[in-house]
């Protein structure tokens, strides 16, 4: 809006299509704080674990990338995907459509493929951070791009991000697709396509169809669903035998992943299995999952009404990981947009930096070396004699509970009245509700702009000893985390 007015809910965050176009603070302290965070995180990343350490170092992984490549190779060669192990003796658990999208990955030169893929993911990470700033209403200037790169470097120390890079996972690609999709204006005809493609590759992003339904964005929900069906149809034409096998048998076989109680299964079902000491009854898991979905969606709608679009979609991303039957720790890359949101708050209220530090303290890539030189990365894998194991092993679920409660009570710093109802049921700000603005620039660009229920690679072997999130045995959970 013009003439010295601004949208009520746009005072703190930018919903898709909102006229807010916030300038990033020019004071040196903001940039210095982000730069210091990046430097500290980088030092910790290389000090905690030698990047060349076998089976654990950041530069010695790439197992899931190998599976992506082998899946694409098998699809192109007409070899079966699901009835026999693929490379490294692992089982392929992605959709048939995923192999079609992984064909470019298969073309990467051997030997340096994992480094090229890691570099590509780091660029995506910086793009994700910049997109998050745009969803918050900031104009994407050179300064914002530079600081986005620094914040992306800092976020590599977050365990889900480090593990994603270590395994060569596709989580950042999926999150970018979802963020791009949900950041588009409600009138965009492409809104829903990104979610549909992401769900066509991995299944959990399909949760965002429910997100669109909760916001009464019917067209986006329909486009998402149609896009998912299109990915199924395309893969069925290209890979009929594998598609039939996947959708009639593999899709229903959860034993291909790992035991529910695996420590790296940071989902509600995994937590229940660890607490009960045995797999949770299906009715109990479904009941609690439905309750989590209902409460979280109520919070998501409330956030969206207040213009907190980024926090709303981030909470939905976390919830998708919680209610998924099996969520490896690296599926929790949604801590990255949460980090951006916390830094955004810290720019106007320094106390929020404590939230940033708490985030890194809880989900950072902290390592522990066992007496036999086994190394684990991530607090949830630390031994029980150091901290209460029942709490720590379910760390991401505990963090989710804190985030959910915090999101339920969060208010925009300038919000004086409760947020109005969704305009036209689309979750867009009501232009009639405005108030004088003292610091907003004229409206400019509308915000534009991605986990998963199954991992791409899972071990076909089962044992009582386990591999950590970085492929190291540490005791209680079973095989390799992928």
Q: How far apart are CA 199 and CA 327, in angstroms?
A: 15
Interval 141-152: pLDDT, tens: 899 999 999 999
**Spatial separation of the C-alpha atoms in residues 11 and 307, rounded to whole Å:** 8
Q: Give the per-residue pLDDT at 26.
A: 73
Nearest one of 53, 454, 83, 112 to 249, comparing CA atoms: 83
Q: What is the pLDDT of residue 122?
A: 97
- State in Å, rounded, how far the first CA of the chain is from the last one: 48
What residues contact 319, with CB distance under 8 A and at least 6 apart?
A: 207, 292, 293, 296, 297, 400
Query: Which parts of the chain have pLDDT scores under 50?
Result: 1-19, 416-482
pLDDT of res. 23: 79
CA distances 88 to 351, 452, 456, Å, are 48, 22, 13
Residues 456, 231, 124, 327: is their CA dihedral positive or negative? negative
* Tokens 């009138």 sit on residue: 187
3-state SS class at 266: coil
Q: Any alpha helices (H) in 9-112, and if so which ranges?
A: 28-48, 63-77, 96-101, 103-106
Q: What average pLDDT is seen over the chain?
A: 82
Spatial separation of the C-alpha atoms in residues 176 and 449, rounded to whole Å = 8
User: CA 153 to CA 415: how far, in whole Å?
Assistant: 32
C-alpha dihedral over 140, 141, 146, 147, to 10 degrees? -60
CA distance linking residue 289 with residue 299, whole number of Å: 15
Task: Give the E-state strand segments of 304-392 in sequence order.
Answer: 367-369, 375-377
Q: Which residues lie closer than 8 Å to 107 by C-beta, 6 or more apart? A: none
Partners of 428 in beta bridges? 423
């Amino acid at each position: 809006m013009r003439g010295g007015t601004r949208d009520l809910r746009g005072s703190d965050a930018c919903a898709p299509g909102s006229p807010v176009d916030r300038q990033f603070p020019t004071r040196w302290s903001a940039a210095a704080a982000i730069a210091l965070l990046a430097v500290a995180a980088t030092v910790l990343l290389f000090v905690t674990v030698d990047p060349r350490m076998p089976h654990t170092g950041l530069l010695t992984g790439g197992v899931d990338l190998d599976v992506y490549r082998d899946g694409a190779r098998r699809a192109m060669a007409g070899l079966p995907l699901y009835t026999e192990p693929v490379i490294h003796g692992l089982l392929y658990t992605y959709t048939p459509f995923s192999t079609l999208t992984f064909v470019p990955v298969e073309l990467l030169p051997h030997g340096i493929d994992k480094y090229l893929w890691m570099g590509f993911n780091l660029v995506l990470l910086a793009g994700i951070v910049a997109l998050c700033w745009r969803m918050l209403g900031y104009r994407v200037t050179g300064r914002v791009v530079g600081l986005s790169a620094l914040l992306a470097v800092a976020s590599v120390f977050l365990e889900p991000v480090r593990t994603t890079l270590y395994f060569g996972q596709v989580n950042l690609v999926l999150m970018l697709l979802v963020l791009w999709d949900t950041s588009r204006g409600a009138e965009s005809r492409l809104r829903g396509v990104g979610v549909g493609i992401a769900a066509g590759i991995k299944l959990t992003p399909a949760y965002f169809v429910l997100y669109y339904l909760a916001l009464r964005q019917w067209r986006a929900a329909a486009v998402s669903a149609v896009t998912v069906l299109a990915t199924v149809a395309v893969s069925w034409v290209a890979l009929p035998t594998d598609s039939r096998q996947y959708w009639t048998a593999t899709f229903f076989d959860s034993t291909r992943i790992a035991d529910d109680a695996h420590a790296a299964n940071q989902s509600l079902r995994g937590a229940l299995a660890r607490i009960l000491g045995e797999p949770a009854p299906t009715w109990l898991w479904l009941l609690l999952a439905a309750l989590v979905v209902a409460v979280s969606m109520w919070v998501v709608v409330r956030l969206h009404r207040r213009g907190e679009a980024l926090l709303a979609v981030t909470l939905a991303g976390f919830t998708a990981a919680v209610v998924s039957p099996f969520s490896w720790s690296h599926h929790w890359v949604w801590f990255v947009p949460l980090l951006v949101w916390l830094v955004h708050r810290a720019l106007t209220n320094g106390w929020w930096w404590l939230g940033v530090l708490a985030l890194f303290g809880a989900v950072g890539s902290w390592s522990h070396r066992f007496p036999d030189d086994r190394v684990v990365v991530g607090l949830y894998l630390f031994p029980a004699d150091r901290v209460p194991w029942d709490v720590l092993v379910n760390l991401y679920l505990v963090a989710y509970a804190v985030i959910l409660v915090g999101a339920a009570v969060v208010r925009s710093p300038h919000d004086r009245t409760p947020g109005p109802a969704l305009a036209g049921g689309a979750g867009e700000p009501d232009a009639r509700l405005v108030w004088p603005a003292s610091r907003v620039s004229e409206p400019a660009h509308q915000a534009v702009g991605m986990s998963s229920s199954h991992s791409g690679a899972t071990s076909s072997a089962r044992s009582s000893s386990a591999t950590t999130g970085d492929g190291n045995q540490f005791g209680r959970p079973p095989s390799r985390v992928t």
